[in-house]
Amino acid sequence: MVELALGRAAAADYVELSKPRIVTMVAITAGAGYLLAGPPGSQWATLVHTLAGAADVAGGACGLNQVAERDVDARMRRTASRPIPAGRVGAAEG
């Protein structure tokens, strides 16, 4: 049971690292741009792949930003509890 709890905590840290609210905003923006600028009768599969790619890139960028800012984040009260400054996720994993 302890291993399952640790697994859930680690998964929650990785989700927090990817900043899901920002990723959602990027995906909505990319989807709206695709639907507005795409040709009529656009392929839904292409839209799904575009959204998945945009979400992956945005999540990766959020993780890299937190790796780059880990020293500053560790000193600020507001950001000290983020996964990397708090030591729950290593910089190499981020």
pLDDT of residue 6: 55
The predicted model gives 37-66 an average pLDDT of 90
- More confidently predicted of 94 and 2: 94
Residue 3 has pLDDT above 60, yes or no: no
Token duo for residue 29: 């923006």
pLDDT of residue 20: 94
Give 17-45 pLDDT, tens digit per residue: 889 999 999 999 999 999 898 777 778 88
DSSP string over 29-86: HHHHHHHHHSPTT--HHHHHHHHHHHHHHHHHHHHHHHHHTHHHHHHSTTTTTSTTTT
